[in-house]
Structure 1
Amino acid sequence: MSEINQAPDSGTASGVPADQRQWAMFAHLSAIVGALLTSGVGGWGTFLGPLIIWLVKKETMPFVDDQAKEALNFNITVAIVFFALWVLVFITLGIGFLIAIPAWCVVGIAWLVFAIIAAVKANDGISYRYPFTLRLVK
């Protein structure tokens, strides 16, 4: 039997340590937990988790800094879309529900799918960029 020389394990092939990958995954998943515990998709609970993780870990974990900002920006963008749809409903005196309800369903499902994809990618040590996201927090 021959021994194979291996380099020290850095967490994954991406080189991101396991603890940073885990915290980055938590940043993405905390939005889902926030939606379940508070006002649903588009509410304040969806960006509270990523915000807290970003504020606590941004100085010590660069990968978490990047991914928590990404999750925060995406959830703020979704909240803006939901708010704009509510404005449409009020401006049209309720007729906007014909557009808003299907749009809320589509955006909500897309939000859930993208959040899960981002969590899986972050756990693999890959920087994920959400589509259609306003980069408000830099």
Structure 2
Amino acid sequence: MERIVTDPNERQWGMFVHLAALATLIGIPLGNVIGPLIIYLIKKDEYEFVNETGKEVLNFQITWTLILIVSALFIIVGIGILLLVGFGIAWLIFVIMGTVAANNGQYYKYPLSFKFFN
């Protein structure tokens, strides 16, 4: 059975953890990792939802940062641009899906994510 978070503040902070990953789109280097990490560290002890969501978001963001770095290296052989565009669009879609789920009080499990934090 899926747990649903009903506290609006807890849901809001869970949503902010997902949204903070978009910091990279405004030019902050590694903002997709640093943004969620800051919110996670500040609110993880206050809200269980932020604790669990934060770990999931950080695992996903670190994994996808590595994927995008490898894709960038493939520019040398000519397929890197296609990989960067494809993975970039998928990354944005997954972040939006996680944000919507958190806003609804649902836990979101990102696909294609290594577990760095349990």
Structure 2: give runs of 5+ residues left out of the alignment: none
The answer to whether structure 1 residue 83 and structure 2 residue 72 are counterparts is no
The answer to whether structure 1 residue 45 and structure 2 residue 31 are counterparts is yes
Aligned residues: 116
- 1:31 corresponding residue in structure 2: 21
Take 1:118 and 1:15, find their aligned partners in 2: how far apart are those partners?
Answer: 14
1:92-137: CA deviation from partner (whole Å, max 9, x where unpaired) = xx2x2x2111111111000101100100000111000000001112
**Worse-matched range after superposition: 78-87 or 49-58:** 78-87
* Runs of 4 or more above 4 Å deviation: none
- 1:21 corresponding residue in structure 2: 11
Q: Of residues 122, 129, 132 in structure 1, which corresponds to 2:102?
A: 122
Structure 1: give runs of 5+ residues left out of the alignment: 1-12
Q: Return the structure number with greater helix share.
A: 2
Q: Give the alignment of 1:50-65 within 5 angstroms.
A: 50-65=36-51
CA-atom RMSD in angstroms: 1.6
Structure 1 residues 47 and 15 mapped into 2: Cα distance closer, same or farther (>3 Å)?
closer
- 1:4 corresponding residue in structure 2: none
Report how far residue 16 of structure 1 moved. 3.0
TM-score, structure 2 as length reference: 0.90
Take 1:86 and 1:106, find their aligned partners in 2: how far apart are those partners?
Answer: 12
Choose between structure 1 and 2 for higher RCO, CA contacts under 8 A separated by at least 6 residues: 2
Letter in 2 for 1:22: Q
TM-score, structure 1 as length reference: 0.78
Report how far residue 85 of structure 1 moved. 2.1
